[in-house]
Structure formats: C-alpha cells, structure tokens
C-alpha cells in the first residue's frame, strides 16, 4: 500500500532523524539545519508531535540555527509507554538535549511543552540559556485556600481517577477513518487552522493501515497526556525562572488551549520577562502566523 500524501506551502520535513533510547523507551528525534549551526530546541504540545513545527522550524533553520525537536513518549513516532507523567517527559527531554550538546541552549516550547519545560528549567537551569514559551503559561485557576490535609485528599482523588482511566484504556484502539475524516476530527480541536494544514498533519502524525488512517497518539493517553497536574504549579515555577524569558499568547480561546489571559500571566512573569499578546490569534500561534512569530523568536534567541 502506497500511503496518501499531502503537501503544504512552506512545510519541510526534517533534514535528519534518529532515535534516542531513554531507559528502554525509544524517542524519535528530528533536526532541521546544519549540524555546525548553534542549537535551539523545539518542544511540542500535548496530543501533538514534532511535525507541527514543519513550517516554523525551517524558518529558524534557514536563519542559521540547528533546530532539534522530538516526539514525546506516546506521541508521533516515539514509543508508547506503560505510564505517562511530566517527570518522564522531563527525563526524555534531558536525554535528548544532552545527546546534542553539553552547553545551555535556547528552547522554544508550545502549550504543554512550555509548561513542562518550565519545570525542567526550575530543576536544571544550566541546560537552558533562554526560553520562548508559546501559550504554555497556564494560570487560569487560583490556588485553593484549603488546609494542607484537604489538598492532599483532593490530589489523591485526582491521581486515583487518572490511574483508573489508564487501567481501563490500556487495550484501546483508535477509530480508523479516511485522511479527510481524521483532518475533520482534528479540526474540531483546531478550528482556526486550514483544512489543507490539517490534512498535511494527518500524513505525518497518523499511519495508514488496511482499514484506514489512525492517529499514532497512544489511545490510552488522556487529553494532554501528562497525568495529575494543576496549572498553578507552572505559574509558581515561571515566576522564579532565572533565564531570559519571552512569552506569547493569543486572545482567542480554542479547545486545546489553556484559557489563560494577559492579566493572569503578567503577575507571574520572571524578572525581566516579556509577554507578547497577539490579538485575534488562537492557541497555535506559531502555525497560524509563523511569519509574525519567527522574526520575534529569532531576534530574542540571538
């Protein structure tokens, strides 16, 4: 069977691909640009994969950067795992980053990627020189004013619910469909992105079997796929980041976004941090307006 293909203006597949073994879990790694160029790491969001950077990454690579991205475990062409957590994603990220360079390098991260990379920087600030966070600054809920023992009880319930779901879904299989079917399904979550882009995305992030196309994303993973977590934890970490920080948010809510507002984020910006608010733009800022975002990112990381 010859898989269907789609193209999209400006989209370019990586120049190099490889696999990184992280304690038995194979992580798919991708690179755009010359190996001799300075490194910048790109981190995708939840339920996504590195191919969502197929337009944005080439813009940065053509400007003289070696762009390195990877599919998170359970996403894209990386291995599925028994369990998923932010700590596991952080270990994977550190393994990939260390395999490329021992020096601190800038990071450009979207959505879930932005939030968990702030946790990585909080624990390993020597790995990252600058951070660009593209709508990965969740802070829409306030810290609950409840006693410590009640917080522990509530978190235990959250963890239990998450584990119950994982147990029930371990044998699940994604529903097949045509390439167009999968693009339309994704369109419900990404209503601002063109059908041409969504169909292109299917050819990268899904596989074609005898009965149709299926997304490669592990079906046992909940939306986001990162286990028990609360958005205020990321806000607290963001405030203490010790490196130059540039954040982007749009003003249009989307199903896959955080719903954070400028007024929610500004109080938690790290010292010297800058926030760009793009009017009438949704959650996938780097896909919707790469021609606007790329120059700002390049200027900042340079």
How far apart, in Å, are the Cα atoms of 255 and each of 204, 224, 269, 277? 22, 12, 24, 19
Q: Which residue has the tokens 């994303």?
A: 217
> 277: buried, middle or exposed (CB in 10 Å: 19+, 13-18, 0-12)?
middle
Q: How many angstroms separate the CA atoms of 135 and 294, rounded?
A: 15
Is the distance from CB of 135 to CB of 192 less than 8 angstroms? no
Q: Which domain holds residue 116?
A: 16-141+217-301
Among 54, 65, 40, which residue's Cα sits nearest to residue 284? 54
Q: How many angstroms separate the CA atoms of 213 and 134, rounded?
A: 30
Within-domain flag for 61: yes
Question: Hey, how many other C-beta atoms are within 10 angstroms of the C-beta on 291?
Answer: 10
Within-domain flag for 10: no
Question: Hey, how many other C-beta atoms are within 10 angstroms of the C-beta on 205?
Answer: 23
Say what the pLDDT of residue 228 is. Answer: 55
Q: What is the CA radius of gyration of the chain?
A: 19
Q: What is the CATH number of the domain that holds 60?
A: 3.40.50.1820
Within-domain flag for 49: yes
Residue 225, sorted as left (phi over 0), alpha (psi -120 to 50) or beta, turns out to be: left
Say what the pLDDT of residue 109 is. Answer: 98
Say what the pLDDT of residue 174 is. Answer: 83
Within-domain flag for 128: yes
Is the distance from CB of 133 to CB of 275 less than 8 angstroms? no
pLDDT tens, position by position, for the chain (302 residues)? Answer: 777 999 999 999 999 999 999 999 999 999 999 999 999 999 999 999 999 999 999 999 999 999 999 999 999 999 999 878 888 999 999 999 999 999 999 999 999 999 999 999 999 999 999 999 999 997 755 444 445 555 566 567 767 777 777 677 766 778 899 999 999 999 999 999 999 999 999 999 999 999 999 999 998 886 544 555 666 778 888 999 999 999 999 999 999 988 899 998 999 999 999 999 999 999 999 999 999 999 999 999 99
Within-domain flag for 112: yes
How far apart, in Å, are the Cα atoms of 15 and each of 31, 120, 123, 285? 6, 27, 31, 24
Q: How many angstroms separate the CA atoms of 198 and 187, rounded?
A: 7
Say what the pLDDT of residue 146 is. Answer: 45
Q: How many angstroms separate the CA atoms of 56 and 293, rounded?
A: 9
Is the distance from CB of 85 to CB of 224 less than 8 angstroms? no
Longest dimension (CA), the chain: 60
Within-domain flag for 30: yes
Say what the pLDDT of residue 170 is. Answer: 67
Within-domain flag for 63: yes
What is the domain count for the chain? 1
CA 159 distance to own-chain centroid: 22
Within-domain flag for 175: no
């Amino acid at each position: 069977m010859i898989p269907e293909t789609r193209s999209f203006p400006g989209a370019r597949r990586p120049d190099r691909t490889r696999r990184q073994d992280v304690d038995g879990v194979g992580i798919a790694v991708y690179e755009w640009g010359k190996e001799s160029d300075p490194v910048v790491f790109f981190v995708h969001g939840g339920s996504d994969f590195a191919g969502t950077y197929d337009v944005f990454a080439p813009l940065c690579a053509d400007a003289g950067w070696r762009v390195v991205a990877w599919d998170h475990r359970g996403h894209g062409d990386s291995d599925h795992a028994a369990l998923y957590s932010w700590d596991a994603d952080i270990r994977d990220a550190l393994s990939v980053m260390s395999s490329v360079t021992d020096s601190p390098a800038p990071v450009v991260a979207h959505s879930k990627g932005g939030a968990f990379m702030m946790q990585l920087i909080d624990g390993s600030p020597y790995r990252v020189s600058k951070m660009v966070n593209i709508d990965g600054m969740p802070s829409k809920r306030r810290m609950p004013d409840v006693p410590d023992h009640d917080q522990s009880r509530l978190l235990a319930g959250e963890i239990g619910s998450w584990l119950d779901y994982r147990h029930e879904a371990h044998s699940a299989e994604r529903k097949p469909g045509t390439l167009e079917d999968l693009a339309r399904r994704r369109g419900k979550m990404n209503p601002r992105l063109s059908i041409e882009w969504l169909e292109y995305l299917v050819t990268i992030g899904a596989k074609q079997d005898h009965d149709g196309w299926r997304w490669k994303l592990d079906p046992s993973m909940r939306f986001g796929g990162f286990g028990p977590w609360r958005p205020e934890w990321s806000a607290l970490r963001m405030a203490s980041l010790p490196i130059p920080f540039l954040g982007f948010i749009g003003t249009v809510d989307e199903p896959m976004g955080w719903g954070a507002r400028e007024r929610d984020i500004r109080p938690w910006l790290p010292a010297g941090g800058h926030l760009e608010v793009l009017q009438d733009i949704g959650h996938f800022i780097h896909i919707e307006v790469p021609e606007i975002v790329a120059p700002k990112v390049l200027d900042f990381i340079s």
